Amino acid sequence: MQTILNEIKARYNELESMIIKPEIIADQKLYKKLTMEHSRLIPVVQKYQEFEKTKKEINDARELIGNEKDQDMKDLLKTEIAELEGRINILEKDLTILLLPKDPNSGKNILIEIRAGTGGDEAALFARDLFRMYSRYTDASGWKMDVISANATGKDGLKEIIFSVIGSEAYDNLKFESGTHRVQRVPETEASGRIHTSAVTVAVLPEAEESDIEIDPEDLRIDVYRSSGHGGQSVNTTDSAVRITHIPSGLVVTCQDEKSQLKNKTKALKILRARLFEIVERERMAEESQIRKSQIGSGDRSEKIRTYNFPQSRVTDHRIGLTLHSLEKILDGEIDDLVDNLKKFEQEQLLKSSNKK
């Protein structure tokens, strides 16, 4: 571990000197790449510096004991050494965790797709509730959110919504949300008061850079048409809506929320790139069995990951067996307990995997 930490420290110092050079700053693509790498190394280097400082303090205290004749002072120094050694053990554990294999998509912005599943209008209403939950969590985290595409129902629900979340920890904190979210509650329209079960699917996609996925323009069929609202009424007198078909994969993306055809095309390409990147990532993970084993669930939107039970104000995450009786707070965006427990579980799984090697 010491060798790895010294290499990381040397790379950090190298990056420190590189990112202030005018020629690096002028190349914005390279500058962004290097500053992101620099940011990822900061927590490790800071923890390692604290580790080295504590180790030096232990060695200094031991040296003082050897030269000290006063017994009271020796006892005081021994107490100090015991406390410092306890601190060293904690720092070693922290460093071990920091050196665990990083998700290659760590630090990326994300696209979140929410779709109403089984349950009709009730599912669409819950899709709206989940969008509100993620919106509030995004605001509380200080991140930026941008709605890319939305398909609303006539009863204030959402058939589908796609939005981006821009933030350095967006992917790391929300990647576990992919899957089927099940809701159990009495619909407003249910006169007999019977509990209905509905489902909503969520997909969290890391935002792909052009360097991540190269799309050949020849592989695209782009159609433009007039956007329409509920019931098919025209909401735009120009052909601003865009439908992009990726011929090799058969993926189709449409976007009509903007009045500008160019903006709709840009947003549609962003969604397409993220979906193609998701396919590539699934293939990579299928090959890397160890990473797949350490995952929390498959990330597949068909996998039931969580149940929201309104009568009991209960939220259960089935992957880690966690139940919280704070449904109202969670739907208000207070999902830190869920996020923290899921991240902790992933960390424990990775530690088990690394110990077996």
Cα atoms in the 13 Å half-sphere on the side-chain side of 114:
29
Residue 227 covered by a domain: yes
Q: What is the pLDDT of residue 292?
A: 46
Q: Which residues of the chain have pLDDT under 50?
A: 230-236, 290-294
What confidence score (pLDDT) does residue 235 get?
Answer: 47
Question: Residue 228's pLDDT is what?
Answer: 66
Q: Which segments of the chain are extended strands (E)? A: 110-116, 144-152, 158-166, 179-185, 196-206, 220-225, 241-246, 251-255, 304-309, 314-317, 322-324
At residue 230, the pLDDT reads 46
As given in the structure block, the two tokens for residue 353 are 């995997």
Span 224-256, pLDDT tens digits:
988 765 444 444 456 789 999 999 999 999 998
- Answer with the one of 47, 73, 98 that is the final residue of a domain: 98
Distance of CA 82 to the CA centre of its chain: 39
Question: 285 and 141 in one domain?
Answer: yes
- Asked if residue 215 lies in contact with residue 273, where contact means CB atoms within 8 angstroms, the answer is yes
Q: Residues 183, 139: one domain?
A: yes
Residue numbers of the domain that contains 27: 2-98
Structural domain contains residue 103: no
Cβ atoms of residues 246 and 219 within 8 Å: yes
- 208 secondary structure, DSSP code: P
The whole-number pLDDT of residue 40 equals 86
Strands 179-185 and 196-206 turn out to be: antiparallel
Residues 112 and 94 reside in one and the same domain: no
Nearest-CA neighbor of 162 among 30, 325, 273?
273
Task: Tell me how far apart the alpha carbons of residues 40 and 47 are, in angstroms, rounded to a whole number.
Answer: 13
Structure tokens at 58: 């232990």
- For residues 91 and 114, state if they share a domain: no
**In what side-by-side order are the strands of the sheet with 241-246?**
220-225, 241-246, 251-255
Which residues does 122 contact at the CB level (< 8 Å), separation at least 6?
183, 185, 187, 196, 198
pTM: 0.74
Give the count of domains, the chain. Answer: 2
- The residues, any chain, with a CB within 8 Å of residue 336's CB and separated by 6 or more, are none
Q: Which two tokens stand for residue 38?
A: 């620099």
Residue 198: inside a domain, yes or no?
yes
* Same domain? 213 vs 252: yes
3-class DSSP assignment, residue 309: strand
